[in-house]
Amino acid sequence: MDLKTLIYEKEGHVAIVTLNRPEAFNCLNEEMWSEMSLVQDEIENDDDVRAVVIKAAGDKFSAGIDISLLGKVDSQHILKNLTRMQHLYTRWEMMNPPVICAVNGLCFGAGTELVLACDIRIASKDAVFALQEVNFGLSPDMGGSQRLTRMVGPGQAKRLILACEKINAEEALRIGLVEKLCDGGELVDEAVSMARKISEKPPVAVKFAKKAINVAMESSLYAGLLFEQAQSAFCFSTGDIKEAAAAFFERRKPHFKGR
């Protein structure tokens, strides 16, 4: 892949995606979204990838959408393209490998919406979050109003979206917007370490566990229990479950093959 606004690397079973427009505060634009789609294709076509880390170059995660785009976009453009753009973020949420986001510095607007679409969020203690679309005559449209409400509840979501309030990392942790805080110098190592830990687990079990949690957020208890039954029946047919038991009794490290 010939990438200009993103960097794609692999370390073992972990894919690392870096937002790479530090000179523009990693603002998201059409080029970055196009490259994001290419990177997602690469990850989804590579069975060797078992976890993903999204991070940013420079001292700011993302200041949001490139404001220069606002003067170039009209309602017809939105009707034609927004579903595709929303799907980019949803793909992180729906793909098999868990996606861990390492957030440093400013994380505004579409940057926060990207973070919300990840599975686990780790933030540096200097991180600042905001959804400021209302200031520009808009409402979050890359999933922010939906995912934030599910994550922190309607009251907190209304406070952040309607008043466009900025919150620091400690408050983000308190209300459930992020799962873990660490010092800035440890941020990427912490995210990669967690990704490696996940990548060492049985891949099929991880895939189904992620999907089961997503199902729990979207459906009834009865539907979720049916999903658990189906995934459990499948997992008991895999070689990995036999390998896990054998490694436990033989007191050795298991070697999972994802099947």
**Residues designated as active site:** 113, 133
- 204 within 8 A of 166, measured Cβ to Cβ: no
Instruction: Quote the tokens at residue 71.
Output: 């003067």
- 192 within 8 A of 16, measured Cβ to Cβ: yes
Question: Of 67, 68, 70, 57, which Cα lies nearest the Cα of 17?
Answer: 57
